[in-house]
Amino acid sequence: MIEIKNLDPAKLPASPQRIMKYVLVYCAAGKLDVQVDHTPFVLHPGDVITITSGQIHHIVPGSEARGYILEFTLDFFCKDDNDIELIFHNGLFCHFAMNEVIPVDKDIIEEQLALIRNELTEQPYQYLISVHSRVALILVSINRSKVKRGDEIWKPEALFLKFLEAVRNNFEHNYSLAQFAALLGTTEAKLNEQAKLHAGKTAQNVIYGLVTAEAKRLLTYGDLTVKEVAYKLGFNDPFYFSNFFKKQTGISPKLYKEQGSL
């Protein structure tokens, strides 16, 4: 549901991990090396990075590093459409590999993370309501930091975000756009409208992009064969999956996997 941890090198996983929670990493002191999917980042004091549910990540703190790791599920935070829009506002937890290091207001972030830790430890009356509000305050503070440095504001609508979540949660079914529209109680035309507005591409191409990103994770981490990855992503024919992957990336999944293991 929601958990907060102090950055303790002895308790961090020694290898990349994948959890189905949204992760916020904050560096209070020292330095952190963080890899998200295939991209390395370096955090210094006062920096945060947000990691979308399902992204593979590895946190390696330096000897003097201090900070927090906040993890929560979408169900915990997103009680209504406003919450859904806030969690993805300005690409904070976007599914399009928009991870970035963001310098923030240290006083606000550290205070709220410490208060969340106390609330979860002591569990006073209505503590989850308090924690939810403090997570929202942290996200607002991060957004303000991004606006202050001149970032363009990006505010996707809840329907589009529900579409992204639906794709991510149903990779193994290989649903068509029509099936996603039915699942969300909308139309293909509406999803295409939302995709073009917020991603600059068709809804089908959004699906292709998310499936390709997932395929890269499965091929890079773990020991699944190309055939097993194909089946895991709902492709009945591994040959068709190989053609799909090569069309999207310009390289065969076999070669991509071999390069990732070098």
116-151 per-position pLDDT tens digit: 999 999 999 999 999 999 999 999 999 999 999 999
Core vs surface per residue 21-60: b (16+ CB within 10 A) or e: bbbbbbbbebbbebebbeeebebebbbbbbbbbbbbbbbe
- Residue 86: predicted pLDDT: 93
- pLDDT, average across residues 25-50: 95
Which pairs count as long-range contacts for 13-20, CB under 8 Å and 24+ apart, including other chains? 13/58, 15/58, 16/56, 16/57, 16/58, 16/221, 17/56, 17/57, 17/58, 18/54, 18/55, 18/56, 18/57, 18/217, 18/221, 19/53, 19/71, 20/53, 20/54, 20/73
- Residue 9: predicted pLDDT: 82
pLDDT, the chain, mean:
94
- pLDDT, average across residues 209-218: 95
Residue 185: pLDDT band by 50, 70, 90 thresholds? very high
Tokens of 116: 């969340």
pLDDT > 90 in the chain, percent: 85
- pLDDT, average across residues 86-99: 88
- pLDDT, average across residues 236-256: 96
**Could you give the count of Cα atoms lying within 13 Å of 212 in the half-sphere of its Cβ?**
19
What does residue 72 show for φ and ψ, rounded to 5 degrees? -150, 155
Question: Domains in the chain, start-ordered, CATH in brackets?
Answer: 2-148 (2.60.120.280), 158-260 (1.10.10.60)
- Residue 261: predicted pLDDT: 52
Core vs surface per residue 61-95: b (16+ CB within 10 A) or e: beeebbbbbbbbebebbbeeeebbbbbbbbbbbbb
The number of beta carbons lying within 10 Å of the beta carbon of residue 249 is: 14
Beta strands in the chain (DSSP E): 2-6, 17-18, 22-29, 32-36, 39-43, 47-51, 56-61, 66-72, 102-103
pLDDT at residue 38 tops 90 = no
What are the beta bridge partners of residue 103? 47
109, containing H or E segment: helix 106-122
- Residue 44: predicted pLDDT: 96
What span, in angstroms and rounded, lies between the C-alpha atoms of 222 and 118?
Answer: 36
- Residue 218: predicted pLDDT: 94
Predicted model pTM: 0.90
pLDDT at residue 85 tops 80 = yes
Residue 262: pLDDT band by 50, 70, 90 thresholds? very low
Residue 8: pLDDT band by 50, 70, 90 thresholds? confident
- Residue 236: predicted pLDDT: 93
Residue 261: burial class (beta carbons within 10 Å; 0-12, 13-18, 19+): exposed
